[in-house]
Chain A
Amino acid sequence: QVQLVESGGGVVQPGRSLRLSCAASGFTFSSYGMHWVRQAPGKGLEWVAVIWYDGSNKYYADSVKGRFTISRDNSKNTLYLQMNSLRAEDTAVYYCARDLVEMATILSLTDYWGQGTLVTVSS
């Protein structure tokens, strides 16, 4: 069965960096685009970034553009989110999610989600 397991969250000071990981199993990771979506405490869902199945395209929300970098290692079935220059407003549970469509070459909806990892930005 499809499994996505995020890790790397924690408490970090404003301005510092953190890298999240998402380990995938139960499907052919290299055939699916992957997303990061976040949810601030008590708030709704906010899409953060997407990477194509082959890593050829990456897109970001304006709120994180220039600070966050999405990447993947298809040999390790792992998705990453490098978060730099963190701000208090980046505090959230970060979810990784799989594209609904295999080998999508357009923006796609998502089907499976991980359980999330909490990032708290605080001094």
Chain B
Amino acid sequence: DIQMTQSPSSVSASVGDRVTITCRASQGISSWLAWYQQKPGKAPKLLIYAASSLQSGVPSRFSGSGSGTDFTLTISSLQPEDFATYYCQQANSFPTFGGGTKVEIK
């Protein structure tokens, strides 16, 4: 199985801050990676697919980059509704998720 390692596991930030979350795959996955946002009690919501493609309806402050083993999700200017947990997922092999990054209010 391909292991996905996310960092940090949590981050405290303020509204307007730039936030960067990284995800590292244990082996190359090309660009077959997605980022999801999950709020408490809700289902995950797709933000980014194929490493850098923005899902329809998702604000442009979210962006993704990377290929191979190292990937990044960036929120350019954190908004109040962005406080949530974020997961990366690969599907180059049997799908696996990163451990999650909780974005908390500073």
CA distance in complex: A111, B34 (Å) = 9
CA distance in complex: A83, B19 (Å) = 40
Interface size class of A (residues with CB under 8 A): 20 to 34
Q: Closest residue to B46 on the A side, CB-wise?
A: A111
Given the contacts A114-B43, A116-B43, A44 and B91 also touching, CB distance less than 8 Å: no
Interface bits B15-51 vs A (CB < 8 Å: 1, else 0) = 0000000000000000011101010001111100110
Given the contacts A95-B43, A116-B43, A109 and B91 also touching, CB distance less than 8 Å: yes
Summarize A's interface: helix, strand, loop or mixed: strand
Summarize B's interface: helix, strand, loop or mixed: loop
Interface size class of B (residues with CB under 8 A): 20 to 34
Instruction: Write the residues of chain A forming the contact surface with B, with a CB cutoff of 8 angstroms.
Output: 35, 44-47, 50, 59, 61-62, 95, 100, 107-116
Instruction: Write the residues of chain B forming the contact surface with A, with a CB cutoff of 8 angstroms.
Output: 1, 32-34, 36, 38, 42-46, 49-50, 55, 87, 89, 91-100
